[in-house]
Structure 1
Amino acid sequence: MAVKPKHLYDELTRRGPHQVLRGDLALIGLPGLVFTPRSGLGLPAVAFGHGWLQPVDRYLNLFRHLASWGLVVAAPATQRGPLASSRLFAADLVSALDVCAGVRLGSGDISVSPEKLGLAGHSTGGGAAVLAAADDARVRAVATLAASQTKPFATDAAARCAMPSLHLAGAADVVAPSVGHSRLIAANWGGPAQFRVLPKVDHMGFAEGRHWSGLLIPGSSHHGALRIARVLLTAFFLVHLAGEDRFRPLLEADVKGAPIEDTSALVA
């Protein structure tokens, strides 16, 4: 008998069965962090792009949660200035995937399958993830959190992306309005795309804690948004990268606080 989506949701709110290791990407030439399960061969990996001006430390609980469920997460700490290049950040995300797929991690007992690579990101990091996915045939799945428009345009790049995608947006976002950026990225997506809007969540709802950039960017961390993002991104990548189809019913159901939205009316 199939497990109900609510039970799957409750399961994924808890940490997974794996102990988690934290490492530094700088040791292999790229500033940033990497989180892995303690051991495992042929693991799935996700490169994550931080938001505009944000340190990667604002997503640590998300990284640990994904790693506890068997995913390697690499987060480049590059392009953090006010005039950051989305194009170069996309290249850094691809480099992070190269590192994961090409280097034994940990003490050599952790490896990543080149057939199980994904991308994710928040804000401009979400837009950069779309740019990277459009030009990298290895990418099997993409997830974004309050994705912002980029230059080159992420909304245009989305049309070249054939892999499954998940896009979460905040209804109270005034920086990258959910009716604009994320919705258009999902609507233009070349492959399967799911779009969910979280009520009362703003642009920074998906970032943890506080940061001085709050003086420039409207919004603040939102506990409910963080929980929903952890659960849905974990389910999404377990299904599409790790092949764990038992979590698929959760992805196909409306989640309290994050219903599935229809974007078909925006497609020309």
Structure 2
Amino acid sequence: MRDVPFLSRSTRSYADDMKRTGATVVALLALILGGLLVPSAAQAVTLQSAPASTAAVALPTTTSQVTVSVDGRSFSARLVQPTSGAPGSYPVVAFGHGFVQSASRYASTLSSIASRGYIVIAPDSETGLFPNHSRFADDLWRAITWVRSTQPNASATLDAVSGHSMGGGAALLTASRHPEIESVAVEAAAETRPSATAAAATIAAPALFVVGSSDTVVKPATTRAMYDAKPAPAEFATITGGYHCGFVDSSSFFGIGCDKGQISRSTQLPIAAALVGGWLDSTLKGAAPAPTPAGVVVESK
């Protein structure tokens, strides 16, 4: 996933650039049709060794594909949750995917969060070349309200938004529109239209911003601007040597079209999952702040 206009220029929407530059459309279609942005089962990564839970044993989880129908809008979503639990016991986390990605690309991250005692819902909407960021942000909220109305174990009050790249930016839009959201945790958040940076300035909930120091798709400075705009409390965690594609489970054709980092995907994914999971535990469950993983630099305010 090399730089594309949507990711590299915050003042334009992806759709605007695509309309102006036909060559970009051709290049992106070549990437997608060539399979560069499609997950490869042979290269899928699991987090079996990741610190998936603050408890002694991670909770078993189940995954299903569901249809979310709220406010006259319907879309498919990936639902991951513990296999058992008391009514109302699990906070709800909505996770936004990256540009032209599907929720399945984040299977290990979603399962890791759920195994800590959360119901995680990841919409598969806005996966095309011309995503509507505002609508995607609303879909994250629709997903939360759908979970609350259909899943008996879901908490009626505790919820959070998370996401990677475009989905991270959309999560900030969601949190800015719904101040009742208790926590935010984003990975390599990309600028959106409307602006995720402007939205961050209006969010009161605690927010975690995770980046990879070697990310060349959404450069750390882009996400840093969102952190700088966000009022306290907030944390900015940099994974040394981490990269943009290191936040997803797989890439096809040996990673052609992706950026690269100084650490492997199998190293980065558990670190990112531990950061996000620890943040959610602290902000939603009152757990003590988790120790900073090796290779991570954290700033806070």
TM range, normalised to the smaller chain? 0.7 to 0.9
Would you say the 8 A contact 1:119–1:142 is kept in 2? yes
1:31 to 57, 66, 76: 76
Counterpart residue identity of residue 133, structure 1: A
2:115 paired with 1:68: yes
Unaligned runs of at least 5 residues, structure 2: 1-49
Shift of 1:37: 0.7
Q: How many residues align?
A: 244
1:3 is matched with none
1:58-207 superposed matches below 5 A: 58-103=105-150, 105=151, 110-178=152-220, 180-207=221-248
Would you say the 8 A contact 1:15–1:68 is kept in 2? no
Alpha-carbon distance in structure 2 between the residues aligned to 1:67 and 1:93: 17
2:62 is matched with 21
Secondary structure, counterpart of 1:90 in structure 2: helix
Would you say the 8 A contact 1:100–1:111 is kept in 2? no
Alpha-carbon distance in structure 1 between the residues aligned to 2:277 and 2:103: 18
Return the TM-score normalized by structure 1.
0.83
Would you say the 8 A contact 1:33–1:74 is kept in 2? yes
Shift of 1:238: 1.4
Alpha-carbon distance in structure 2 between the residues aligned to 1:224 and 1:218: 16
Alpha-carbon distance in structure 1 between the residues aligned to 2:256 and 2:146: 35
Moved over 2 A (4+): 9-17, 27-30, 214-221
Shift of 1:217: 4.6
After superposition, the C-alpha distances for 1:150-190 in whole angstroms (9 at most, x for unaligned) are 11110100011000111110111112110x21111111112
2:100 paired with 1:53: yes
Secondary structure, counterpart of 1:183 in structure 2: helix
Higher normalized contact order (CA 8 Å, seq sep 6+, divided by chain length): 2
Shift of 1:76: 0.2
2:270 is matched with 227
Shift of 1:218: 3.1
Alpha-carbon distance in structure 2 between the residues aligned to 1:11 and 1:117: 19
1:232-247 superposed matches below 5 A: 232-243=275-286, 245=287, 247=288
Would you say the 8 A contact 2:237–2:298 is kept in 1? yes
Identity over aligned pairs, percent: 30
Shift of 1:224: 1.8
RMSD: 2.4
Alpha-carbon distance in structure 2 between the residues aligned to 1:168 and 1:129: 13
Shift of 1:10: 5.4
Counterpart residue identity of residue 31, structure 1: S
Alpha-carbon distance in structure 1 between the residues aligned to 2:68 and 2:193: 30
2:296 is matched with 258
After superposition, the C-alpha distances for 1:57-101 in whole angstroms (9 at most, x for unaligned) are 111111111111111000000111121111111011011111112
Would you say the 8 A contact 2:52–2:277 is kept in 1? no
Alpha-carbon distance in structure 2 between the residues aligned to 1:191 and 1:152: 22
Return the TM-score normalized by structure 2.
0.75
Alpha-carbon distance in structure 2 between the residues aligned to 1:184 and 1:177: 11
